[in-house]
């Protein structure tokens, strides 16, 4: 591109910084051009695209002031303020010294330690005694000198500055080390020609406004040239979190398969969370180490259902002997954060009328377990729940529904293994095959509700297919996330790169 055309393509910020490029220091360029750092860096990238400059970045560790450091630069370090106070009195009681210095407990202790280490004070009989002479008191400490000169390149610190750095590093928020990219500007031969061409005297129109058109002030004016092939900074539009996008996608799959959505509260009674699902009252999952309990009690539902659940636990139904213990209503009233969405299935079955059958329902929502947080466990997680209530369904229908759902979620290879759950029989574990790791990964459980669940809730033993795999683990496999905690860390860089669930 000819120099004239190149000059015509410069925007206002590029024109402002061009005369100051020889400074080769971003802060100085900002000051001289009266622009902020972001605007200057953006303009430098544009100048690089036009081959006016060569821009490179060097990674450097920079020592900067922390929040407390900025405050202490204005007021003085705590030990300086304490030293000034003692220099007036020479001897002070500890309590009186802390009170008069207006230092916090931590600041006061740190100040005592710093001054005692430098042999400027002595501590005797709960008194502070000044040991330093006038020259020592008036002389600035190496810590004070370091703070005054920040920011500094860590690798360029002198021995004295490094000693001060080590002393301040152990104190809260006084200094901090940040890795920064320091730009280096090299003006090219083309750039030198552009700078020497008198660009200031060439004002250009950068946009057409209604006012310009109305007054026809664009006539006899020169417009800035635009290079439409020039690379521009990426624009990241707003979008929903990928977990919420995936939840919506899973909801769509279930609805397309003819399922109705179940919803309910996250705080439920132990009755619906455990008892209605034939979970014995002495089962380990009902202990504090597994479940979050709320220090309140709930009202139980209508007496007939309570009576049937009691019989289910104590004596059983349809040939079952139950758990053979005295069922306790008070334990069933305890409120908990729901440990699974299966409690919604129990509540839904209790409301169903036989004339409305067959019916299909699903749920997808938060559950809570008292787990130790690590790469594969969280104290809250998403679960996808489903039930099919139909006199004519069987175990093969259950496997078919699950295969179809996970295939639509993008998993081609699925297998089922026999399993045990208190409220289903037969029961299976659902596994998917990981093509890269060449291993099978467990997603969750499924089965057919036992008579001890269906008879108290429906009035008779109608087949109910049920499943409740963890949804977050499905997301981990699809998005190749190694640590469960990464799902909700909200790293903006990673979120921008996350793609929507595209499998149909």
pLDDT digits (tens, 9 = 90+) for 264-277: 999 999 999 999 99
223 in a domain, yes or no? no
Whether 3 and 19 have beta carbons less than 8 Å apart is answered as no
Both 250 and 127 in one domain: the answer is no
The CATH number covering residue 100 comes to 1.10.10.10
Which residues make Cβ contacts (< 8 Å) with residue 260, sequence separation at least 6? 359, 360, 361, 362
Both 133 and 254 in one domain: the answer is no
Both 255 and 401 in one domain: the answer is yes
CB atoms within 10 A of CB 294: 13
Both 259 and 383 in one domain: the answer is yes
DSSP 3-state of 502: coil
What DSSP assignment string belongs to 292-334?
A: -EEEEE-----HHHHHHHHHHHHT-STT-----S---HHHHTE
R_g over Cα of the chain? 36
Whether 393 and 462 have beta carbons less than 8 Å apart is answered as no
Q: Residue 93 — φ and ψ, nearest 5°?
A: -65, 145
pLDDT at 470 (0 to 100): 86
Q: Which helix (H) or strand (E) holds 179?
A: strand 175-187
180 in a domain, yes or no? no
Below-70 pLDDT ranges, the chain: 1, 24, 198-203, 231-233, 501-504
464 in a domain, yes or no? yes
126 in a domain, yes or no? yes
Count of structural domains, the chain:
2
Q: Name the token pair of 65.
A: 């002031």
Last residue of a domain, one of 105, 140, 175: 140
Whether 332 and 219 have beta carbons less than 8 Å apart is answered as no
Q: Which domain holds residue 102?
A: 78-140
Global pTM value: 0.59
Whether 301 and 343 have beta carbons less than 8 Å apart is answered as no
Q: In whole angstroms, what is the distance from residue 458 CA to residue 453 CA?
A: 9
- Alpha carbon 413 to chain centroid, angstroms: 31
Q: What is the largest CA-CA distance in the chain?
A: 99
Last residue of a domain, one of 140, 166, 185: 140
100 in a domain, yes or no? yes
61 DSSP β-pair partners = 179
Last residue of a domain, one of 140, 167, 187: 140
pLDDT at 379 (0 to 100): 85
332 in a domain, yes or no? no
Both 259 and 385 in one domain: the answer is yes
Both 135 and 253 in one domain: the answer is no
pLDDT at 504 (0 to 100): 45
Q: How far is the CA of 490 from the CAs of 241, 247, 380, 473, in angstroms?
A: 9, 17, 16, 17
Both 252 and 396 in one domain: the answer is yes
Both 356 and 488 in one domain: the answer is yes
pLDDT at 398 (0 to 100): 94
225 in a domain, yes or no? no
pLDDT at 259 (0 to 100): 95
Both 468 and 346 in one domain: the answer is yes
The CATH number covering residue 368 comes to 3.30.930.10
pLDDT at 203 (0 to 100): 64
DSSP state, residue 155: G
467 in a domain, yes or no? yes
């Amino acid at each position: 591109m000819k120099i004239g055309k190149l000059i015509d393509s410069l925007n206002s910020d590029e024109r402002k910084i061009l005369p100051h490029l020889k400074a080769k220091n971003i802060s100085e360029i900002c000051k001289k051009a009266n622009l902020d750092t972001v605007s200057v860096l953006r303009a430098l990238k544009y100048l690089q695209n036009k081959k006016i400059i060569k821009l490179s970045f060097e990674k450097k560790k920079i020592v900067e002031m922390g929040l407390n450091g900025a405050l202490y630069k204005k007021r003085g370090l705590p030990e300086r303020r304490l030293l000034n106070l003692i220099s007036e009195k020479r001897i002070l009681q500890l309590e009186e010294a802390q009170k008069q210095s207006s230092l916090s407990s931590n600041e006061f202790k740190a100040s005592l330690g710093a001054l005692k280490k430098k042999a400027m004070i002595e501590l005797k009989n709960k008194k502070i005694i000044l040991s330093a002479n006038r020259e020592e008191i008036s002389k600035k400490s190496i810590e004070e000198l370091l703070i005054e000169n920040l920011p500094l390149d860590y690798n360029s610190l002198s021995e004295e500055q490094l000693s001060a750095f080590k002393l301040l590093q152990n104190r809260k928020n006084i200094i901090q080390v940040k890795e920064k990219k320091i730009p280096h500007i090299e003006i090219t031969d083309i750039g030198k020609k552009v700078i020497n061409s008198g660009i200031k005297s060439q004002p250009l129109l950068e946009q057409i406004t209604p006012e310009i058109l109305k007054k026809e002030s664009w006539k006899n004016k020169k417009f800035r040239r635009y290079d439409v092939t020039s690379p521009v900074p990426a624009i990241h539009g707003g979008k929903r979190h990928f977990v919420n996008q995936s939840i919506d996608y899973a909801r769509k799959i279930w609805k397309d398969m003819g399922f109705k959505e179940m919803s309910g509260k996250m705080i439920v009674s132990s009755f619906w969370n455990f008892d209605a699902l034939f979970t014995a009252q002495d089962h380990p999952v009902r202990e504090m180490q597994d479940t979050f309990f709320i220090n309140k009690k709930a009202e139980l539902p209508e007496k007939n259902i309570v009576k049937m659940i009691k019989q289910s636990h104590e004596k059983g139904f349809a040939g079952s002997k139950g758990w053979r213990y005295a069922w306790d209503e008070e334990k069933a009233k305890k409120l908990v954060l729901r440990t699974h969405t299966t409690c919604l299935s129990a509540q839904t079955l209790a409301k169903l009328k036989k004339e409305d059958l067959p019916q299909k329902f699903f749920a997808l929502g938060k559950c809570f377990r008292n787990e130790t947080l690590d790469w594969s466990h969280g104290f809250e997680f998403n679960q996808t729940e489903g039930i099919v209530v139909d006199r004519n369904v069987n175990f093969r229908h259950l496997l078919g529904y699950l295969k179809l759902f996970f295939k639509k979620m993008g998993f081609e290879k699925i297998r089922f293994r026999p399993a045990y759950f208190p409220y289903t029989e037969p029961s299976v574990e659902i596994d998917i095959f990981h093509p890269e790791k060449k291993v099978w990964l467990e997603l969750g459980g499924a089965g057919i509700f036992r008579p001890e669940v269906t008879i108290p809730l429906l009035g008779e033993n109608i087949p109910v297919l049920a499943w409740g795999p963890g949804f977050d683990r499905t997301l981990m496999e699809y998005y190749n996330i190694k640590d469960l905690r990464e799902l909700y860390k909200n790293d903006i860089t990673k979120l921008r790169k996350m793609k929507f669930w595209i499998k149909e």
